Amino acid sequence: MNTHKIDLRSDTLTTPTDEMRQAMLNAIVGDDVYGEDPTVNRLQDMIAELFGKEAALFVPTGVMGNQIAIAVHTNKGDEVIVESESHLFHYETAAPSVISAVQMHCIPSKKGEMSLDDISQAIRSSEYYFPETTLICIEQTHNRHGGTVLSLDYMESLHELAKDRKVPVHCDGARIWNACAASGVQPHEYAKHVDTLSVCLSKGLGAPVGSLFIGTKKHVQKALHWRKLLGGGMRQIGFLGAAGIHAVEYHRDNLKVDHYHATTFARMIEEQTHVRVANSSGTIDTNIVIIDCGESPSSTTLQTACAKEGLLLSSGRGNYLRAVFYRDISIDDVNNAVDIFCSCYTKLKSDS
């Protein structure tokens, strides 16, 4: 058994660097519930400016950011349009139905870009017996489709449709930093085509905790109420704010390395085995690789075999596995991961 673990389950495993830890240690702090933490205030101002919006609000998690967005935009009994493989639908514990008392209208897509015709048809007309469509949600990048990047043209077209139908758009931008690194599009260019966003600091950027909800001052004023209600009002959080500032200032360029590692891993396992990389775009857009294990061996069997040799992968829908690359994974780790994966796959294939 390999004693060195190569953990590709998620980029949430990224750990703070020594420099980030030092920035946290030196942070000037205050009580954020009173709005008096200077470091988190600086982070919020920085993020608002970066995304070209009026205001931003630090929240503990991306799920809270998304749920605050839904609460801000909707009323009880409304309907929210989401992509059928979205994080909002699959991984947030049915929170929209509990917190905001809204229902999801799911639209399938090939790579996270819901058809504009499908969206247009899904927006409810005004008959009293229909729920009101009060929000459209997109995800950038799209996790379950393999870290796919929604195009700027698509987001612009969707926003035009949404404005015409008077429905706001929220972007779950947990990995929007990866989209920016891959496409060269700046954060404000994506953000101008949505009304609100939530963005994560604790995935590829490597901060230990935190996301931000971004929108107008009015949106953020409402969000403050919901953050407190959900238990997200914290005190001296400048230590976490300092980590976020450091992450945004110094770690964004490294995301391109993560994308290169993902592409290298995908190419090598395809060359050496009969597995198919199943990212919906047909390419590795960013840092996520979706692996179609085929009929045999099962993804569970292969996942277990790899884990015994020190390679940790996460399970996906169907017979898929997922590998995610991040700052703590070196090129040597990539090569070793390829060796372990291919060895385990070949052995299981020959035994079946």
Instruction: Round to whole Å and give the CA distance between 258 and 260.
Output: 5
Q: Residue ranges per domain, the chain?
A: 6-13+254-351, 18-250
CA dihedral (280, 81, 88, 324) in degrees, to 10, reads 20
DSSP state of 3: S
Range list of β-strands (E), 84-205: 103-107, 133-139, 169-173, 196-200
Domains 6-13+254-351 and 18-250 share a fold: no
Query: What is the predicted pLDDT for the residue at 296?
Result: 77
CA dihedral (337, 350, 316, 16) in degrees, to 10, reads -10
Under 8 Å between Cβ of 206 and 247: yes
- The amino acid present at 281, given as its one-letter code, is S
- The amino acid present at 84, given as its one-letter code, is S
Which regions of the chain are under pLDDT 70?
1-3
As to burial, measured by CB atoms within 10 angstroms (0-12 exposed, 13-18 middle, 19+ buried), residue 211 is buried
CA dihedral (179, 181, 185, 191) in degrees, to 10, reads 50
Topology (CATH) of 6-13+254-351:
Aspartate Aminotransferase, domain 1 (3.90.1150)
Omega prior to 300 cis, within 30 of 0? no
Instruction: Round to whole Å and give the CA distance between 269 and 56.
Output: 41
| Cα 89–Cα 151–Cα 204 angle in degrees, nearest 5 | 65
Instruction: Round to whole Å and give the CA distance between 265 and 145.
Output: 17
CB atoms near residue 264 (< 10 Å)? 18
| Cα 203–Cα 322–Cα 267 angle in degrees, nearest 5 | 105
- Tokens 């901060």 sit at which residue? 207
Instruction: List, as one string, the DSSP characters of 154-168.
Output: HHHHHHHHHHHTT--
Query: What is the predicted pLDDT for the residue at 282?
Result: 87
- Tokens 């989209």 sit at which residue? 179
- Tokens 């980030």 sit at which residue? 20
| Cα 153–Cα 197–Cα 227 angle in degrees, nearest 5 | 170
Q: Write down the architecture of domain 18-250 according to CATH.
A: 3-Layer(aba) Sandwich (3.40)
Token code pair at residue 12: 């949430």
3-class DSSP state of 221:
helix
The H-assigned helical ranges of the chain are 18-25, 38-50, 62-73, 87-90, 95, 116-122, 152-164, 176-183, 187-191, 217-229, 238-250, 255-272, 299-308, 331-351
Instruction: For residue 213, report the phi and psi dihedrals to the nearest 5 degrees.
Output: -95, 135
Query: What is the predicted pLDDT for the residue at 318?
Result: 78
Q: How far is CA 199 from CA 6, 9, 69, 310, 344, in A?
A: 26, 20, 12, 31, 37
pLDDT digits (tens, 9 = 90+) for 312-351: 999 977 789 999 999 999 999 999 999 999 999 999 988 7
Instruction: Round to whole Å and give the CA distance between 150 and 144.
Output: 13
Instruction: Round to whole Å and give the CA distance between 208 and 239.
Output: 10
Under 8 Å between Cβ of 6 and 261: no
Query: What is the predicted pLDDT for the residue at 316?
Result: 78
